[in-house]
Chains A and B, each alone.
Chain A
């Protein structure tokens, strides 16, 4: 034991810790340390003293040394920086990782990008649906327009008919118009027809509504005559009213004077003189 104490006090262990011994001498110290716990303890105590001395006298190197070091070794500093806390999970002492000021910015930028993409998708869907609705609306407007035109046609037809009927009603009441009732003759005893003659301007109107004549065939039509001093004067042709015609009232040729009116069935285009055996209706003024 005295030997061990002398060995410790020789100062060789301090030189060992300071790395100031030859490899042979170092190996000798290590062998002693493995055999004698006191030597081992002494070495550890010296090491801790030297370590504390260094740790408590730090000098901060410039920051670029670290950057250069990692460049030289080909290691990525940033990767290491953010993941440093992962090294060996069981660390007891507090580990503080430098805050990366760009980290939060990058995160919020990522969120913004996702939000933008979502917004874009939503906008596209909305646009597409609005476009479809617009097309539907266009179709509806077109079909409504068609309907409207149809109704407008019907309304104008009704207005016309209404006007015609009003005219008839007015003519019947007015003293200006004379109503001549024509009765069925031998050719067609059941027929009847009315004729309106204006005393002022001498115009002659017939009304399909107030007409009951047999249907004329394709080769024949009716001809209206006025008897002036025993002579027949043609006032024009008229056919049976067909379904496509809007006309309710038909204006015939004017006549200044007449004692009677008559209608005969004549070949298409009319005749110069009435065909008397086809005399349908006749009535005196």
Chain B
């Protein structure tokens, strides 16, 4: 992250400004977190236009339901990320998304596929990707489903044909690997 190009505030400052509905804070919040949240969204929804719609809806919801955020229950980013994930999963399951998947013209397919795979190249990502790819395959599969595909652990258990407890354990082990890397 190139922090000098972004508008940044500390989390308590963000929270108090957000809850007092200061319009300036939305700009700061967007500057700080839009790319991170869009990273989460675009891994769940690969269609650029729909993913950007979800990003917009995410910030609208953050803005409108800021008063619901309680910092005793967790970090601001976790709250925002879960809004983004939930809206993404809702979109993925909506008629809107299913129609858009059917309506792709053959002529547009090449550019569409290209757009879907368009990712900002960030040197830091390379390390993370290697880390995720370096996870044991069974941990990686669970993390992909739950984190990228927006599956619940129940759905992931069905998908992988595993007991619920095993899925839970694998999610935990995968996150512990991430924690070792980041903390």
Most buried by A among B31, B51, B86: B31
SS class of chain A's interface: helix, strand, loop or mixed?
A: helix
| A75 on interface, CB distance cutoff 8 Å | yes
Interchain CB contact (< 8 A) of A66 among B30, B48, B63, B171: B30
Q: Which of A34-70 contact B (CB under 8 A)?
A: 34, 43-62, 65-66, 68-70
- List chain B residues, Cβ under 8 A from A118: none
Query: Are the CB atoms of A73 and B35 closer together than 8 Å?
Result: no
Q: Which of B51-87 contact A (CB under 8 A)?
A: 51-52, 55-56, 59-60, 63, 72-75, 77-78, 81-82, 85-86
Q: Report the Cα distance A115→B103, complex, angstroms.
A: 61
Q: Report the Cα distance A72→B75, complex, angstroms.
A: 27
Q: Report the Cα distance A20→B147, complex, angstroms.
A: 11
Query: Are the CB atoms of A58 and B122 closer together than 8 Å?
Result: yes
Known: A51-B77, A69-B59, A96-B5. A61 touches B27 (CB 8 A): no
| B113 on interface, CB distance cutoff 8 Å | no
| B114 on interface, CB distance cutoff 8 Å | no
Query: Are the CB atoms of B153 and A47 closer together than 8 Å?
Result: no
- List chain B residues, Cβ under 8 A from A65: 34, 52, 55-56
Query: Are the CB atoms of A84 and B183 closer together than 8 Å?
Result: no
| A3 on interface, CB distance cutoff 8 Å | no
- List chain B residues, Cβ under 8 A from A54: 36-37, 39-40, 77, 81
Query: Are the CB atoms of B23 and A49 closer together than 8 Å?
Result: no
Chain A binder among B7-15, B93-101, B133-141: B7-15
Query: Are the CB atoms of A68 and B56 closer together than 8 Å?
Result: yes
- List chain B residues, Cβ under 8 A from A57: 36, 39, 43, 122, 125, 128
- List chain A residues, Cβ under 8 A from B4: 94, 96
| A276 on interface, CB distance cutoff 8 Å | no
For A77, give the chain B residue with the smallest CB separation: B27
Count A-B contacts at CB 8 Å.
180
Query: Are the CB atoms of A14 and B35 closer together than 8 Å?
Result: no
- List chain A residues, Cβ under 8 A from B82: 18-19
The interface size of chain A toward B, counting residues with CB under 8 Å, comes to: 59
For B49, give the chain A residue with the smallest CB separation: A62
Query: Are the CB atoms of B182 and A49 closer together than 8 Å?
Result: yes
Query: Are the CB atoms of A88 and B1 closer together than 8 Å?
Result: no
Q: Report the Cα distance A222→B120, complex, angstroms.
A: 132
Known: A52-B182, A69-B30. A96 touches B38 (CB 8 A): no
Known: A14-B171, A51-B77, A86-B24. A69 touches B60 (CB 8 A): yes
The interface size of chain B toward A, counting residues with CB under 8 Å, comes to: 69
| A169 on interface, CB distance cutoff 8 Å | no
Q: Report the Cα distance A50→B82, complex, angstroms.
A: 11
Query: Are the CB atoms of A60 and B7 closer together than 8 Å?
Result: no
Chain B binder among A5-13, A133-141, A150-158: A5-13
Q: Report the Cα distance A51→B25, complex, angstroms.
A: 20
- List chain A residues, Cβ under 8 A from B81: 50-51, 54
Known: A11-B169, A11-B171, A62-B52. A56 touches B124 (CB 8 A): yes
Query: Are the CB atoms of B56 and A69 closer together than 8 Å?
Result: yes
Least CB distance, B178 to chain A, in whole angstroms: 4
| B17 on interface, CB distance cutoff 8 Å | yes
Q: Which of B125-179 contact A (CB under 8 A)?
A: 125, 127-128, 146-147, 152-153, 165, 168-169, 171-172, 175, 178-179
| A90 on interface, CB distance cutoff 8 Å | yes
Task: List residues of A whose CB falls within 8 A of some B CB.
Answer: 9-12, 14-15, 17-20, 30, 34, 43-62, 65-66, 68-70, 72-73, 75-77, 79-81, 83-88, 90-97
Q: List 14 A-B contacts (CB under 8 A).
A: A9-B172, A11-B169, A18-B147, A19-B82, A43-B74, A49-B178, A54-B37, A54-B39, A55-B77, A57-B125, A59-B119, A87-B24, A88-B13, A93-B10
| Those 3 A-B pairs whose CB atoms lie nearest each other, nearest first | A11-B168, A58-B35, A19-B82
Supplied contacts A49-B183, A56-B125, 16 more A-B pairs, CB within 8 Å = A18-B171, A20-B152, A44-B75, A52-B182, A56-B128, A57-B43, A57-B128, A59-B39, A61-B34, A61-B51, A65-B52, A69-B56, A76-B23, A88-B9, A88-B16, A96-B5
